[in-house]
Amino acid sequence: MKKILSVFLLASAITLASGPKVPYNHPHQNVVEMANVGRSKEIKWVKVADIEKSLQGKKPMNVSFDIDDTVLFSSPAFYYGKVKYSPDSFKFLKDQTFWNFVGDGGDRYSIPKSAAAEIIAMHQRRGDTIYFITGRTAPEGLKKGELDDTAKILQKVFKIKDMHPISYQTPYTASQNKYDKTYYIKKYNVTLHYGDSDEDILAAKEAGIRGIRILRNSQSTNKPLPGAGGYGEEVVINSQF
């Protein structure tokens, strides 16, 4: 059972990531390694207060966030979806019915991350505009400019003042750059992007902006765990929670 689940977890990670893999060129750690040996002094660890201080004197900006494992611990929703739609295979990840379930309320099973709440609150105090960019597939029938249930959940739990519709990956957006999120980062003139995956950091680099790593919780179904700090990016302390 453990072996089967591990294979499923890896499949989930591959499906939701888009873009070429790049070897790490800086010291890095995942949360399990940190738990075993402590935080590496070679990584650029930052607190939310440090980020806020670095932005002092700067005008309000556009800031983007990944969703899964960045602002939501969404593994419960994905696990439930697998059990419901394809318990014996990975087909649910390519099943529009599953994505309809997630976008139409499945994230009720997801847990908001407290670190994300603190970061978002800081940016809203500054007057920054918040965007959510995801590698997920949009629920069927979602109209342009419409907030789906996931967007409404994010708006409520993070107290978003001016909620924009979630920006979902499409074949077109994924084809425009090396990394799928680069399209929206450029479209919204984003200055700062937060994400847990290597692809989040690499998309920020591709767009020429500052990317800050959020730690992926060790209990996430999205395996393998990425090496935080591996591209020289800043990493938010204790952001796995």
Residues in the annotated binding site? 66, 68, 134-135, 181, 196
Strands (E), 72-182: 72-73, 111-112, 129-134, 167-168
Residue list for the binding site for substrate:
134-135, 181
Q: What's the distance, Cα to Cα, between the start and end of the chain in Å?
A: 27
Torsion sign over Cα 106, 108, 113, 116: positive
**CA-to-CA separations, 182 to 139, 173, 175, 188, in angstroms, rounded:** 21, 8, 10, 10
d(CA 81, CA 93): 9
Catalytic residue among 50, 68, 149, 200: 68
d(CA 86, CA 27): 38
Catalytic residue among 66, 69, 107, 200: 66
Closest listed residue to residue 129, CA positions, set 64, 62, 57, 58:
62
Active site residue 68: yes
d(CA 209, CA 234): 13
DSSP for 177-236?
A: SSSTTHHHHHHTT-SEEEESSHHHHHHHHHHTSEEEEPPPPTT-SS-SPP-BTTTS-EEE
Residue list for the binding site for Mg(2+):
66, 68, 196
**Residue 92 Cα to chain centre, angstroms:** 20
Q: How many residues in total does the chain contain? A: 241
Is residue 238 left, alpha or beta, with left meaning phi > 0 and alpha meaning psi from -120 to 50? left
Active site residues: 66, 68
